[in-house]
Each structure stands twice: as C-alpha cells, then as structure tokens.
C-alpha cells in the first residue's frame, strides 16, 4: 500500500447466496486521482461501491481509507460521500439546506454554513441558487448540487454511481468534461462507476474493467485501449473487430493465425501460453484497418471481405463488411481518400500486425 | 346539438354528487344551525336567540366535556401516529412481496366487523372477569379480579385501535413512494438515525401524517360507541351529550347548538394543524 493512497482494498469479497458479486478484488487509488470502475450491468460494481460507502459489508477482505481500516465504520462516520445514480437530493429542502445538511451534522455554526454553501455553489458554477428547490432546477444543475452537497464536506473520497446516466447525450458530454475539471479543481479523489466506456475513458486517470465480480485489468485509459490484457477488455473498451481462427505459429511476439475462411493473418501475442493448433481470436480496431488494396506495406496482413453497407456518422463513419460469415467494421476516413463502396463489392482490408492482438480462444 | 348532449351528460354525472352534498350535508347542517338559534318561549312560540350557546358557556359540565373530548382526541391521534408509523414503515419499506400484502390485510381484517363488535372484543379482554384479568391472576401478579374497563385508558385503547387503519394507510402510501437512496444519502452525509428520521423521513411523509391525523382526529372526536361502552362514569364524551339532548331530553335546540360547536371545534383544530405543519388541504388529500 502506497503511503499516499486514499483508498486501498485487499481481497474484497461479497457473496449473495452462492454467487460472489464481488470476488477477491484488490486495488489501490492514489490520492487526488480519478479512478473509474467500468463494467457491464450486473458485474458487481454497484455492490463494490456500496461497500466503500458503508451500505454493505464485505464478507471478506479489508477496506482502508488513508490507512484506516473502514470495515466496521458506519456510513455516517466514513470520510466518504456518494453521489447517487438518481442524485437523491432531499426534495423537502432547498438547495442551500441540501448542501448545509452535512455541515449541520458536523455542528458548524449557521453563519459559517452559509458561507461555505455559497462558496461551493460558486465553485460548481451555480452562484446564488440557495433558495431554490431542487425540483425547479434542470438536470445539469441538479447534478452540480449533488456534487456540491458532497464536496462541501471535503471528503477523502467521493463515490459516484453513474450520475450522468439520466442526462441527455449533449449534457452528458458536457458534464464529463466538467466533472474532470471539478475533480482537478477540488483535488478530491473520485471513484466513479459506469457502464459507459466513453465516460470512463474521458475522465479517468485509472480505469478498472470489471467482469463477474473481478477486475480484468486496471490501467490508464490509453493503455486499456491499446494494450488490453484480456479478450473481454479488448471487446468492451472501444469498438473492436473479432476474427476467430486457428493458431499456426508464434515468433518474435507475432502470432500467425489462419482465419476460418483460410486467410493467413498476423497479430501481436496478447495472452500467455498460446499453443500451436489451438483456437485463437484476433482483435483489430476499425481505425487500424486500411481500405486500399494497393500501396500496402509488405509486412501488413490482409483479408478479403464483402461490403454490406456504409454507415455515415461524420468522423466516425464506418463500412460494414463480412469476412467468412463474421461482421467486420472499418473506419472510413472523411478526408476524401476513401474509395466509393457499393454493397456486395469486394474489398481488401489490411492492417499492421503490431496493432492487432491475438488471444487464445479459451482465455475469454 | 353536440354541446347540449355533453351538457346533459355533465348534469347527469353531477346529479348524484349534488344530491348528496345538498340533501345529506348542506341542508341538515343549515337546519341544525337554524334550530340552534331558536329559543322556545312556550309550547307554540319560538324566538331567535343565543340562549343555547350561553348555556354551553355557563354550564361548566358542557364546556369541560367539550375541552376533555378535544384534548383526549388530540392525544389519541398522536398516540395512533406513534404506533402506526413503525407499522407503516415496516409494511412500506421492509416487507417484500407477499408478506407486504398479508400485513396490509391484517390491518384491514378487524374492519370487516362493526365498531360495536370490535369494542365488545376489547371488553371481553379488559373486563373484570375477562382474559387479561384471569391471566394476571393465574400468573400470580394479582390477588383478585382486576377491572381494566370503564376508565380513560380503556377509552383511548379502543379509540386508537379504531383509528389505526386510517393512519396506517396514508402513511404506507407516502412512505412507499420514498426513494431508498434518500435515506442512504441522509446517513452518507453524516446523519444518525434520529437526524435521518427528523430531517428526511418525517418531512417526506408529512402529507401522509397530516391526512392520517385529520381522519383519525375526526373519527375520534365524533365517535360515540367506544367512549360510551368502555368509558366510566367520569369519562364523558361530547357526542354523548348531543345524544342526550336530542333523544333523552328531547331538547333539539340545545343538541343542535352542541353539534354546531363540535363542528366548529374540529374545523378549527384541523385548520390549525394544517397551518402548523405547513401543509395545504389540497396537497394532503390529493
């Protein structure tokens, strides 16, 4: 455990019946960082967060906050505050009373409470809203009040349970950036759970990808994207194409794979113990696929595919093709270099083998 | 043509309501009001006056009973709230699935019997030769038969029991709609049990609390059977005096005046209750 870590968990387990919702999870969050736990619904991330907040108790393992063991500390005595999924602003109190609630519990005198409330509202960009009711605010404003209500208490750790889920797309994009700035501004350690990989990627210093109660990988967003350690991470974080085939050979950290339609391709070895002849899966990102058939580097792998349709989405436009019965997506550059593609025409998709990752099929 | 049809259907729909309001609520009360201001001078002449109301204030027995009834009704309402709140909390927040329905039904079942039967049920338990008395003797905690009936405590027990359902139902309804996260947020931000209850749960449940209290208070204030059957000589209830005036003494004028006063009392107390709790009648009943 690092001396400057705000949150340190070791071997956390929480079982519901025979099913372990959280299964031996250990991690360390350095002070002042933005830590995200990313996973599909039902992966145990909410259970994990509730244990950190104190609403649920681990069956095994320890939670340390700034070096203090927290397992038996009730939620109202933990230096931890939580922004709930639906915010849980107290509807019977004004914005000012919502924010003052926690301060009042600490017996801070009224004048000081007012001062701090006004200051934190200013910091989250909602000056002079103390006397409004939460119901009168917009979704984005309510979000900020919920944040302010926690941040005014200067917690060691701020837990956020997918608070952006209820916002519309545009506001969500805006709040993502805003949250990151607020975290930097306050310097509070954030632990954020989400199923939206884009939220996790944009905001976090570290992202833990969670599946079936365990962490698959904990890494900074870019590393997660470029160097996924498991097929699940490769498929869950960002768009990815999965091509299955048979492993022929491994040399110089490159694996030769024969795809199911017979094409020979290459990719970087991503899992240990790859054996000749075993089933393998090659992951290649849509933006790593090159469309033109000519002007190819000699070292590139290539395969033949049939165009199904093109999906125009501005900078994120893609072509949907099919190769040996498997769908493949490739990014269509919008600088005019992309060829015109008609349905059912044949294209060659090529890639630099170091950008593709090969996993054993059984390691999923 | 079309508008006349819709107007006709509107009137047809309104008629039962208007009949009910006018015939059963408005007219009898106006009549009562009129009768209460009539003074009988001789067997065939009647004058207008406030003699009956003067009687009420000069005859201490009237207004003492009046105050007693009001105070005891308020106390009963408060006690019912205290008992009903944990029950409602359990039904609304803790019970799950089938047990929730069964518990709710358990609160409802006593009301399939009439008030008379329910009150006699309590009398079987509380009277001198009743169940509780014989248990106390069997356990050796009492030497002889214990009379638990015919006092104020027995009256309040009966009244609380009669009012409980009408308090539980609105409380369950409001507590049911409360987001669990509100309570958790209350603890998360540093509140203890008392704080969360006082600052978050009670303000949220306020419309249910007030509507339950109004109903229970009205029922208690206007109840007749329970205080008569379970109360003693000294536990006079105001409704009893109204009954005496109308039926025993055939003094309709005095009975009407007492009835009007009871209506004024309950209206004033409900109005005060709404003012103090900061609720509006529309919010509470809607």
Task: Tell me which residue of B66, B77, B48, B46 sits closest to B216, measured CA to CA.
Answer: B77
**Do A75 and B195 lie within an 8 Å CB cutoff?**
no
Q: How many residues does chain B have?
A: 286
**Chain B residues whose beta carbon lies within 8 Å of the beta carbon of residue A93:** 199, 203
Q: What angle do CA A69, A72, A78 make, to 5 degrees?
A: 70
- What's the pLDDT at B86? 95
Residue A285 CB-half CA count within 13 A: 15
Rounded Cα distance between A147 and A154, Å, is: 11
Topology annotation, domain B52-285: MetI-like fold (1.10.3720)
Tens-place pLDDT, residues B29-86: 999 999 899 888 777 778 888 888 988 889 888 889 999 999 999 999 999 999 999 9
Task: Tell me which residue of A210, A147, A146 sits closest to A181, measured CA to CA.
Answer: A147
B200, closest residue in chain A (CA to CA): A90
Which of A75, A85, A101 minimises the CB distance to B199?
A: A101
Tens-place pLDDT, residues B114-150: 888 988 999 889 888 888 888 888 888 888 888 888 8
Which of B181, B190, B203 minimises the CB distance to A105?
A: B190
pLDDT band of residue A1 (cuts 50, 70, 90) is very low
Percentage of residues in chain A having pLDDT higher than 90 = 53
Distance to chain A for B185, nearest Cα, Å:
7
Stronger pLDDT, A225 or A262, i.e. the higher one: A225
Distances (CA, A) of A324 to A239, A242, A244, A261, A327: 20, 12, 10, 5, 8
**Do B190 and A153 lie within an 8 Å CB cutoff?**
yes
Q: Under a CB-based contact definition with an 8 Å cutoff, are residues A260 and A298 in contact?
A: no
Distance to chain A for B182, nearest Cα, Å:
5
Which DSSP symbol is given to A31?
Answer: T
Rounded Cα distance between A152 and A103, Å, is: 8
SS (H, E, C) chain B: CHHHHHHHHHHHHHHHHHHHHHHHHHHHHHHHHHHHCEEEEECCEEEECCHHHHHHHHCHHHHHHHHHHHHHHHHHHHHHHHHHHHHHHHHHHHCCCHHHHHHHHHHHHHHHCCHHHHHHHHHHHHCCCCHHHHHHHHCCCCCCCCCCCCCHHHHHHHHHHHHHHHHHHHHHHHHHCCCHHHHHHHHHCCCCHHHHHHHHHHHHHHHHHHHHHHHHHHHHHCCCHHHHHHCCCCCCCHHHHHHHHHHHCCCHHHHHHHHHHHHHHHHHHHHHHHHHHCCCHHHHHC
- In total, the C-beta contacts within 8 angstroms joining chain A to chain B are 64
**Class for domain A239-363, per CATH?**
mainly beta
**Chain A residues whose beta carbon lies within 8 Å of the beta carbon of residue B206:** 92
**Do A105 and B179 lie within an 8 Å CB cutoff?**
no
Tens-place pLDDT, residues A123-143: 988 988 989 999 999 988 999
**Chain A residues whose beta carbon lies within 8 Å of the beta carbon of residue B198:** none
- What's the pLDDT at A251? 83
Question: Where do the structural domains in chain A lie, given as residue ranges?
Answer: 5-233, 239-363
Domains A5-233 and A239-363 share a fold: no
Mean predicted confidence (pLDDT) in A54-81: 92
Which pTM does this prediction carry?
0.82
**Do A75 and B188 lie within an 8 Å CB cutoff?**
yes
For chain A, list residues whose CB is within 8 angstroms of any CB belonging to chain B: 53-55, 74-77, 80-82, 84-86, 88, 90-93, 101-102, 105-106, 149-150, 153
**Do B189 and A150 lie within an 8 Å CB cutoff?**
yes
Best residue in A83, A101, A161 for a mutation probing chain B (most B CBs within 10 Å):
A101
SS3 call for A335: coil
Rounded Cα distance between A209 and A230, Å, is: 10
**Do B187 and A75 lie within an 8 Å CB cutoff?**
yes
Distances (CA, A) of A113 to A76, A98, A153, A202: 19, 11, 11, 34
**Do A93 and B188 lie within an 8 Å CB cutoff?**
no
* Stretch (H or E) spanning A185: helix A169-186
Topology annotation, domain A5-233: Rossmann fold (3.40.50)
Question: ipTM surpassing 0.90, yes or no?
Answer: no
**Chain A residues whose beta carbon lies within 8 Å of the beta carbon of residue B279:** none
Residue B2 has pLDDT above 70, yes or no: no
Rounded Cα distance between B80 and B84, Å, is: 6
Contacts of B137 by beta carbon, 8 Å cutoff, 6+ apart = B143, B144, B145, B146
Question: Where do the structural domains in chain B lie, given as residue ranges?
Answer: 1-36, 52-285
Rounded Cα distance between A182 and A162, Å, is: 16
Rounded Cα distance between B274 and A18, Å, is: 52
**Do B181 and A75 lie within an 8 Å CB cutoff?**
no
**Angle between the N-to-C axes of helices A139-151 and A110-123, in degrees from 0 to 180, rounded to the nearest 10:** 130
Rounded Cα distance between A146 and A161, Å, is: 12
Rounded Cα distance between B54 and A360, Å, is: 100
Which of B192, B200, B206 minimises the CB distance to A90?
A: B200
- What's the pLDDT at B197? 93
Task: Tell me which residue of A36, A52, A75, A51 sits closest to A162, measured CA to CA.
Answer: A36
**Do B190 and A102 lie within an 8 Å CB cutoff?**
yes
- Residue with the two structure tokens 């944009």: A202
State the distance between the two ends of chain B, measured CA to CA, in whole angstroms. Answer: 35
Tell me the β-bridge partners of A269: A358
B205, closest residue in chain A (CA to CA): A92
Which DSSP symbol is given to A10?
Answer: E
**Count of Cβ atoms closer than 10 Å to residue A199 Cβ:** 25
Tens-place pLDDT, residues A162-220: 988 878 888 888 889 989 999 999 999 999 999 998 899 999 999 999 999 999 999 99
Distance to chain B for A241, nearest Cα, Å:
40
B204, closest residue in chain A (CA to CA): A92
Percentage of residues in chain B having pLDDT higher than 70 = 98
């Amino acid at each position: 455990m690092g001396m400057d870590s705000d949150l340190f968990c070791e071997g956390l387990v929480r079982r519901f019946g025979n099913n372990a919702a959280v299964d031996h999870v250990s991690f360390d969050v350095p002070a002042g960082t933005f830590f995200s736990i990313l996973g599909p619904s039902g992966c145990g991330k909410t259970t994990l967060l509730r244990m950190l907040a104190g609403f649920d108790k681990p069956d095994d393992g320890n939670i340390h906050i700034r070096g203090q063991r927290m397992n038996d500390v009730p939620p109202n005595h933990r230096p931890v505050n939580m922004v709930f999924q639906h915010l849980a602003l107290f509807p019977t109190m004004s914005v000012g009373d919502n924010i003052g609630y926690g301060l009042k519990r600490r017996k801070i005198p009224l004048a000081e409470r007012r001062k701090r409330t006004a200051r934190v509202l200013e910091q989250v960009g909602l000056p002079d809203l103390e006397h409004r009711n939460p119901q009168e605010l917009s979704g984005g404003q309510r979000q900020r009040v919920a944040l302010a209500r926690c941040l005014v208490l200067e917690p060691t750790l701020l837990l956020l349970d997918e608070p952006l889920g209820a916002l519309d797309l545009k506001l969500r994009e805006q709040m993502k950036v805003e949250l990151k700035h607020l975290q930097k501004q306050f310097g509070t350690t954030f632990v954020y759970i989400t199923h939206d990989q884009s939220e996790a990627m944009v905001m976090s210093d570290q992202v833990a990808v969670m599946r079936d109660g365990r962490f698959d990988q904990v890494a900074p967003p870019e590393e997660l994207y470029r160097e996924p350690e498991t097929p699940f991470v490769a498929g869950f974080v960002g768009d990815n194409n999965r091509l299955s085939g048979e492993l022929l050979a491994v040399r110089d950290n490159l694996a030769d794979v024969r795809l199911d339609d017979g094409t020979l391709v290459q990719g970087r070895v991503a899992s240990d113990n790859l054996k000749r002849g075993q089933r393998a899966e090659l992951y290649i990102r849509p933006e790593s696929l090159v469309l033109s058939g000519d002007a190819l580097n000699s070292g590139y792998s290539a395969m033949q595919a049939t165009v199904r349709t093109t999906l125009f989405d501005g900078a994120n436009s893609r072509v949907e093709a099919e190769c040996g019965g498997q769908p493949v997506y490739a990014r269509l550059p919008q600088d005019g270099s992309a060829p015109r593609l008609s349905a059912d025409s044949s294209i060659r998709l090529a890639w630099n083998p170091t950008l593709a990752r090969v996993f054993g099929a059984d390691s999923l | 043509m079309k508008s006349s049809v819709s107007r006709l259907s509107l009137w047809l729909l309104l008629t039962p309501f208007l009949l009910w309001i006018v015939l059963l609520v408005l007219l009898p009360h106006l009549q009562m009001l009129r009768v209460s201001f009539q003074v009988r001078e001789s067997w065939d002449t009647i004058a207008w006056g406030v003699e009956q109301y003067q009687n009420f204030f000069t005859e201490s027995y009237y207004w003492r009973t009046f105050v007693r009834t009001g105070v005891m009704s308020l106390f009963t309402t408060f006690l019912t709230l205290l008992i009903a709140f944990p029950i409602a909390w359990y039904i609304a927040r803790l019970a799950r699935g089938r047990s929730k329905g069964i518990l709710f039904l358990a609160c409802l079942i006593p009301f399939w019997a009439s008030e008379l039967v329910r009150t006699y049920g309590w009398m079987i338990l509380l009277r001198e030769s009743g169940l509780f008395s014989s248990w106390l003797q069997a356990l050796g905690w009492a030497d002889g038969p214990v009379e638990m009936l015919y006092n104020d405590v027995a009256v309040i027990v009966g009244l609380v029991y009669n009012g409980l359902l009408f308090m539980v139902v609105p409380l369950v309804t409001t507590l049911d709609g409360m987001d669990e996260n509100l309570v958790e947020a209350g603890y998360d931000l540093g509140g203890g049990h008392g704080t969360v209850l006082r600052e978050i749960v009670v303000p949220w449940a306020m419309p249910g609390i007030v509507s339950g209290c109004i109903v229970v208070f009205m029922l208690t204030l206007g109840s007749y059977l329970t205080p008569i059957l379970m109360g003693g000589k000294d536990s006079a209830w105001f409704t009893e005096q109204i009954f005496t005036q109308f039926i025993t003494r055939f003094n309709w004028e005095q009975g009407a005046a007492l009835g009007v006063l009871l209506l004024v009392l309950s209206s004033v107390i409900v109005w005060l209750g709404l003012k103090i709790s900061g609720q509006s009648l529309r919010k509470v009943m809607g």
